[in-house]
């Protein structure tokens, strides 16, 4: 997909929003690297997967990702023989415990969520390795005495040496002669040695080893000779403890290395599960639905909303319009058509106004006209971003029944940015971008052009705009363009593969409504606005006379416009009716499949009950426990089962296969 288009449509911000819904670093990594696909079957599979997760979440069956860490590097190190630290092993143990939880989660999923079950199939329950680690380490990463008999033995010996050392120290401190030459009446520790703070002028009175001296030189810290041999013994035992600790850690690391392949596979699936769950949570939170995906270029967005705007309006505490742009500080720029528009003519809606967009159904090119700040640019961005979402396997912020084709390229030229690096003006920059678009465009492309023909003489701009529209028509792709040029409004009248669209403007309130009407072309409403703003009556009359001179074909265009509007209304009603019929047919098919499935399951259960034999394990619904068959009486439709300490006669209908 074209990188410049992804940047213009701010696809990176959408990735960041999805990443906020992920619970693990593995899921966030996938979310921040989403790429639109051009594989129709892959996209359909992803949407079914997300739809299943939406249903699962609706049943309160959210997967648990507690304890999951990205331990792929640690597991690789263990697989090649490296020793992991205790803290690293604890991370691995937490993750392995989580794989067990995901394994059991899969076991409890209903069979109707087959895609999810298949996706989770590679996850194995690695809880045994986690138990081996947690059986040797406590929660702080300290090795337990029970980790090995050798470790327990050496620590017991160390404890005994410590007791003897403390006993000797207490005995020495009780000596009145020794206490008189100490700087303070306590022992202290220097490294692994217990030392006494002896005044330097009494050095010869305490036989032993000087381990350090105070900063003033007046105190010597001496290990008494009577306990030095115990310190030596303690050092030897410490070495044995360290060797045994390393042996245990190496053994545990080797156990981790043995399951490295399974851990890698499980983490791959868990990361994917977290990513799918994040998309499902995002879709549930913002009332999104999976569109129908097609490969024949039919685009029909019903009540589509701009996802970034919706996120912005929901989360922003303060919304401030700036220079007539539908944006706030740090917000996505979705309408920057006139930086000179008076603030009184502009408002920021608290909710995104949904729009209906259609391409490839009756026409391939949609030419959108209308006033500044009316929503033309946001219509382009909404369409482009929603298509990118669908091709990324995500539900879209649009009503059910929307249809999205798979585009090989989505190519956009939106905004007024000059190319400073290439020393190009705004017009030149637009032409350079359009040239690059035509180098990539084919019949499976979507082209989005903002302000076609602007930035130069209106007459030349209109001629160039018509030529660009002709080229788009020759390529055979789908396209949406916005323009202010009146001459381009008539292009659709001469081309059956093009259609007009208009963003609505309320002349009474002087405010845009942000609604899109296909089959109409927009008017600038300049004279209506001027009348509302109390310009002199003579001035307005003169303006109307000039306008009539320039509009010799106004009546004819009006009749054509009315016919197109009627045709568009009929086409929309037909599409809606067909969609409703398709929906009812799908509901009937699903209901029929459900009935057949239930009948098959009931028949299978009857056959199973008819084959029951003594000692067969069965689940008894009445007790909620598993028991064993003692005797079956098919004539009376009862079975005698042993549950717990007793035997019970129950109806055959109450026993089920062991869960």
* Count of other CB atoms within 10 angstroms of residue 458: 14
**Would you state the pLDDT for residue 48?**
92
**Would you state the pLDDT for residue 488?**
78
- CATH code at 148-236: 1.10.1420.10
Instruction: Tell me: pLDDT of 459 over 70.
Output: yes
**Would you state the pLDDT for residue 429?**
77
- In this prediction, residue 281 has a pLDDT band, given cuts at 50, 70 and 90, of very high
pLDDT in tens, 114-165: 889 899 988 888 888 888 888 888 878 788 878 888 888 888 888 887 787 7
The percent of residues above 90 in pLDDT, for the chain, comes to 21
Instruction: Tell me: pLDDT of 457 over 80.
Output: no
Instruction: Tell me: pLDDT of 424 over 70.
Output: no
- In this prediction, residue 489 has a pLDDT band, given cuts at 50, 70 and 90, of confident
More confident position, 426 or 447: 447
- Residue linked to tokens 């637009």: 430
> What distance in Å separates the CA atoms of residue 499 and residue 374, rounded to the nearest whole number?
19
The DSSP result for 276-308, as a single string, is HHHHHHHHHHTT-BPPEEESS--EEEEEE--HH
More confident position, 221 or 5: 5
Cβ atoms of residues 447 and 477 within 8 Å? yes
Instruction: Tabulate helix, strand, coil % of the chain (nearest 5).
Output: 50, 15, 30
Instruction: Tell me: pLDDT of 43 over 90.
Output: yes
> What distance in Å separates the CA atoms of residue 260 and residue 75, rounded to the nearest whole number?
6
Architecture of the domain made up of 7-126+259-284:
Orthogonal Bundle (1.10)
**Would you state the pLDDT for residue 561?**
58
- CATH code at 290-524: 3.40.50.300
> What distance in Å separates the CA atoms of residue 547 and residue 553, rounded to the nearest whole number?
11
Instruction: Tell me: pLDDT of 7 over 70.
Output: yes
Instruction: Tell me: pLDDT of 177 over 80.
Output: no
pLDDT in tens, 394-421: 999 998 889 999 999 999 988 755 444 4
Is residue 358 helix, strand or coil? strand
pLDDT in tens, 333-391: 444 333 333 344 444 446 788 888 889 888 899 988 876 666 788 889 999 999 999 99
**Would you state the pLDDT for residue 568?**
61
DSSP state of 85: P
> What distance in Å separates the CA atoms of residue 140 and residue 115, rounded to the nearest whole number?
39
- In this prediction, residue 198 has a pLDDT band, given cuts at 50, 70 and 90, of confident
pLDDT in tens, 59-83: 888 898 888 898 899 989 998 888 9
Mean pLDDT of 308-333: 55
Of residues 37, 59, 62, the one with CA closest to residue 47: 37
**Would you state the pLDDT for residue 587?**
77
**Would you state the pLDDT for residue 274?**
93
- Residue linked to tokens 């390393």: 246
**Would you state the pLDDT for residue 324?**
35
pLDDT in tens, 577-633: 776 777 778 778 878 888 888 888 888 888 888 888 888 888 888 777 888 888 888
What is the token pair recorded at 651? 């109806």
> What distance in Å separates the CA atoms of residue 445 and residue 471, rounded to the nearest whole number?
13
What is the token pair recorded at 114? 């087959």
């Amino acid at each position: 997909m074209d990188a410049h288009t992804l940047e213009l449509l701010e696809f990176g911000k959408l990735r960041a929003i999805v990443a906020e819904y992920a619970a693990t670093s593995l899921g966030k990594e996938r979310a921040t690297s989403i790429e639109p696909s051009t594989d129709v079957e892959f996209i359909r599979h992803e949407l079914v997967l997300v739809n299943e997760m939406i249903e699962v979440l609706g049943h309160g069956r959210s997967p648990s990702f507690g304890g999951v860490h990205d331990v792929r590097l640690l597991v690789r190190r263990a697989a090649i023989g490296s020793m992991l630290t205790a803290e690293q092993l604890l991370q691995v143990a937490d993750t392995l415990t989580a794989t067990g939880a995901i394994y059991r989660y899969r076991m409890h999923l209903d069979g109707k969520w087959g895609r999810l079950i298949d996706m989770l199939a590679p996850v194995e329950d690695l809880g045994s390795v986690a138990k081996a680690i947690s059986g040797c380490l406590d929660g702080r990463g300290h090795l337990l005495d029970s980790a090995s008999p050798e470790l327990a033995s050496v620590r017991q010996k160390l404890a005994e040496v410590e007791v003897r050392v403390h006993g000797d120290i207490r005995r020495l401190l009780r000596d009145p002669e020794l206490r008189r030459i100490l700087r303070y009446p306590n022992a202290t520790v220097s490294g692994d040695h217990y030392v006494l703070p002896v005044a330097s002028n009494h050095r010869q009175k305490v036989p032993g080893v000087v381990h350090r001296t105070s900063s003033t030189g007046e105190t010597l810290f001496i290990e008494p000779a009577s306990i030095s041999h115990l310190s030596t013994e303690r050092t030897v035992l410490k070495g044995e403890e360290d060797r045994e600790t390393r042996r245990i850690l190496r053994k545990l690391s080797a156990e981790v290395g043995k399951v490295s392949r399974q851990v890698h596979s499980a983490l791959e699936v868990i990361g994917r599960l977290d990513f799918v769950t994040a998309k499902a949570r995002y879709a549930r939170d913002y009332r999104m639905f999976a569109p129908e995906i097609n490969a024949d270029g039919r685009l029909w967005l019903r009540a589509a909303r701009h996802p970034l705007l919706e996120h912005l309006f929901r989360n922003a505490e303060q919304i401030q319009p700036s220079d007539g742009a539908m944006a706030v500080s740090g917000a996505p720029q979705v309408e920057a058509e006139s930086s000179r528009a008076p603030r009184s003519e502009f408002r920021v809606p608290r909710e995104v106004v949904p729009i209906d967009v259609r391409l490839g159904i009756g026409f391939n090119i949609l030419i959108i006209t209308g006033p500044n700040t009316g929503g033309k640019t946001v219509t382009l961005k909404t369409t482009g971003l929603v298509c990118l979402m669908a091709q990324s396997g995500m539900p879209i912020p649009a009503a059910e029944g929307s249809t999205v084709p798979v585009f090989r390229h989505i190519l956009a030229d939106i905004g007024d940015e000059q190319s400073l690096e290439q020393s190009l003006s705004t017009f030149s920059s637009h032409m350079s971008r359009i040239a690059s678009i035509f180098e990539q465009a084919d019949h499976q492309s979507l082209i989005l052009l903002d302000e076609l023909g602007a930035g130069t003489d209106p007459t030349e701009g209109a001629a160039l705009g018509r030529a660009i529209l002709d080229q788009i028509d020759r390529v055979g792709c789908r396209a949406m363009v916005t323009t202010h040029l009146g001459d381009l409004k008539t292009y659709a009248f001469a081309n059956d593969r093009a259609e007009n669209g208009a963003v609505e403007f309320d002349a009474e309130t002087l405010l845009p409504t942000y609604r899109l009407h296909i089959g109409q072309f927009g008017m600038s409403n300049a004279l209506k606005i001027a009348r509302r703003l109390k310009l002199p009556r003579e001035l307005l009359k003169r303006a109307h006379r000039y306008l009539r001179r320039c509009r010799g074909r106004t009546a004819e265009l009006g009749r054509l416009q009315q016919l197109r509007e009627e045709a568009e209304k009929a086409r929309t009603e037909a599409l809606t009716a067909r969609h409703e019929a398709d929906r009812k047919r799908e509901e009937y098919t699903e209901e029929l499949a459900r009935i057949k499935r239930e009948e098959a399951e009931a028949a299978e259960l009857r056959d199973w009950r008819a084959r029951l034999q003594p000692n067969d394990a069965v689940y008894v619904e009445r007790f909620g426990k598993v028991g064993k068959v003692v005797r079956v009486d098919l004539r009376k439709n009862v079975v005698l089962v042993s549950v717990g300490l007793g035997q019970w006669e129950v109806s055959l209908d109450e026993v089920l296969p062991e869960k």
